[in-house]
Amino acid sequence: MPIRLKPLGKQVLVVTGATSGNGLAIAERAARSGAAVVAVARNAVALEDLRARLAADGARIATCVADVADLPALERAAMVATDTFGGLDSWINNAATGTYGTLEQVPVEDHRRVFDVNYFGTLYGSLVAARHLRARGGGAIVNVGSILGDRAILQQGPYSATKHAVQALTDTLRMELEREGAGVSVTLVKPGAIDTPFPEHARNFMDSPARLPPPLYTPEVVADAVLFACANARRTLYAGGGGLLSSVMSQAAPRLADAIMEALGTTVQQKPDDPGEPERRDNLYEPRADALRGSRKVQARRSSLTLQIQKLPSSVALGLLGVGVGVALAGVARSRRTRQISQASAIAS
């Protein structure tokens, strides 16, 4: 069965992690576009605030309090979509949690919790969505991964591991649904660093407040990518050129990327002079205060040229991205040659 996706304004969307960061941006933008939204999150108070605010503007919105690590809770979210709006057209697995600290610092039970939310939550949502979309004759599943699915980063080992797993899960799900001709599009969106409350929400074992390394983008960039994928079948979308560049560099020069990470990876993820709002800290097991953006003073880009290029027809996008990647690789090669020359000069002297 060919994939035929409805225009966004005629869709019913289920969005997990809908009260904070990327999920909040997705829910708000979808509602403004005319889509019906089922917002899913643990934070009942924030969900009701979101429902009341969007409904006052005429949006079609329903809510479901759920922890994505609980399969029956996500099945209940699908029933909310069916009972309220007659079904669902796109399911967005966005909810995630994380920790900061070394693999030894993070207790094993916290490793498991990150996997329960990020991997199993995505698995459960995908299974529930696939069953409902098959019955409706197709639709879209959009999983929010990360550039950390392409390479790991110091201090975020469990989170990085889950995003590698989510990438494999998404690829497997896509192949299975394609093989059976289900008419379901499966997209993996890979954000770079996004200015959300994530560093404040994450459980932190470092000796300094956590932050995300620049360049940062606003959550609206991720919402742009996700909602485009709901209406246009795409395999992968990178949300932010900084993330794509990091991924390319890691694949082209993995040892150099490791060396840079080892030297700077911890420092660029700490912000000792700006701890953020205390009421947001540590939502690993229980919800904390939610918001669209982080509370720190940071610069965040409001658009991504890299994303806009990916939204073009595939042949054009590949050509333009190929040029950009070529330029980036040439820069990496020059950097390696310069380092080698410097090392040789030091030895000769």
**Would you place residue 348 in the very low, low, confident or very high pLDDT band (cuts 50, 70, 90)?**
very low
Residues 259 and 149 grouped into a single domain: yes
Does the residue 1 lie in any domain? no
* Model confidence at 338: pLDDT above 70: no
CB-based contact 153:203 (threshold 8 Å): no
**Would you place residue 230 in the very low, low, confident or very high pLDDT band (cuts 50, 70, 90)?**
very high
* Model confidence at 202: pLDDT above 90: yes
Residues 40 and 171 grouped into a single domain: yes
Q: How many CB atoms lie within 10 A of CB 245?
A: 21
Does the residue 44 lie in any domain? yes
- pLDDT confidence of residue 326: 56
- pLDDT confidence of residue 322: 61
Residues 83 and 208 grouped into a single domain: yes
State pLDDT tens for residues 11-42: 999 999 999 999 999 999 999 999 999 999 99
Does the residue 151 lie in any domain? yes
Q: Cα(107)–Cα(58) distance, rounded to whole angstroms?
A: 46
State pLDDT tens for residues 107-132: 999 999 999 999 999 999 999 999 99
- pLDDT confidence of residue 335: 47
- pLDDT confidence of residue 297: 87
Residues 264 and 319 grouped into a single domain: no
Q: Greater confidence, 197 or 345?
A: 197
Of the listed 119, 124, 159, 217, which one is catalytic? 159
- pLDDT confidence of residue 1: 81
- pLDDT confidence of residue 294: 96
Does the residue 195 lie in any domain? yes
- pLDDT confidence of residue 192: 96
Residues 59 and 118 grouped into a single domain: yes
Average pLDDT over residues 45-69: 98
> H/E/C letters for each residue in the chain?
CCCCCCCHHHCEEEEECCCCHHHHHHHHHHHHCCCEEEEEECCHHHHHHHHHHHHHCCCCEEEEECCCCCHHHHHHHHHHHHHHHCCCCEEEECCCCCEEECCCCCCHHHHHHHHHHHHHHHHHHHHHHHHHHHHHCCEEEEEECCHHHCCCCCCEHHHHHHHHHHHHHHHHHHHHHHHCCCCEEEEEEEECEECCCHHHHCEECCCCCECCCCCEECHHHHHHHHHHHHHCCCCEEEECHHHHHHHHHHHHCHHHHHHHHHHHCCHHHECCCCCCCHHHCCCCCCCCCCCCCCCCCCCEECCCHHHHHHCCCHHHHHHHHHHHHHHHHHHHHHHHHHHHHHHHHHHHC
State pLDDT tens for residues 130-149: 999 999 999 999 999 999 99
Q: Please give the mean pLDDT across all residues of the chain.
A: 92
Residues 30 and 136 grouped into a single domain: yes
Q: What is the pTM of this model?
A: 0.90
Residues 337 and 249 grouped into a single domain: no
- pLDDT confidence of residue 71: 98
- pLDDT confidence of residue 218: 98
Q: Cα(91)–Cα(133) distance, rounded to whole angstroms?
A: 9
State pLDDT tens for residues 91-100: 999 999 999 9
Given 266, 282, 303, the domain boundary residue is 303
Q: 176: domain CATH number?
A: 3.40.50.720
Of the chain, the percentage scoring pLDDT greater than 70 comes to 90
Residues 281 and 339 grouped into a single domain: no
Residues 250 and 344 grouped into a single domain: no
Does the residue 291 lie in any domain? yes
- pLDDT confidence of residue 314: 74
CB-based contact 198:192 (threshold 8 Å): no
Q: Cα(77)–Cα(94) distance, rounded to whole angstroms?
A: 14
State pLDDT tens for residues 66-105: 999 999 999 999 999 999 999 999 999 999 999 999 999 9
State pLDDT tens for residues 287-335: 999 999 999 889 999 999 999 999 999 766 566 666 655 554 455 455 4
Residues 297 and 332 grouped into a single domain: no
Residue 159 among the catalytic residues:
yes
Residues 278 and 327 grouped into a single domain: no
Q: Is 3 exposed, middle or buried (CB count within 10 Å of its CB: 0-12, 13-18, 19+)?
A: middle
Domain that holds residue 325: 312-349
Does the residue 79 lie in any domain? yes
Residues 99 and 207 grouped into a single domain: yes
Number of domains in the chain: 2
Does the residue 321 lie in any domain? yes
Q: Cα(253)–Cα(343) distance, rounded to whole angstroms?
A: 18
**Would you place residue 344 in the very low, low, confident or very high pLDDT band (cuts 50, 70, 90)?**
very low
Does the residue 142 lie in any domain? yes
- pLDDT confidence of residue 323: 60
- pLDDT confidence of residue 332: 45
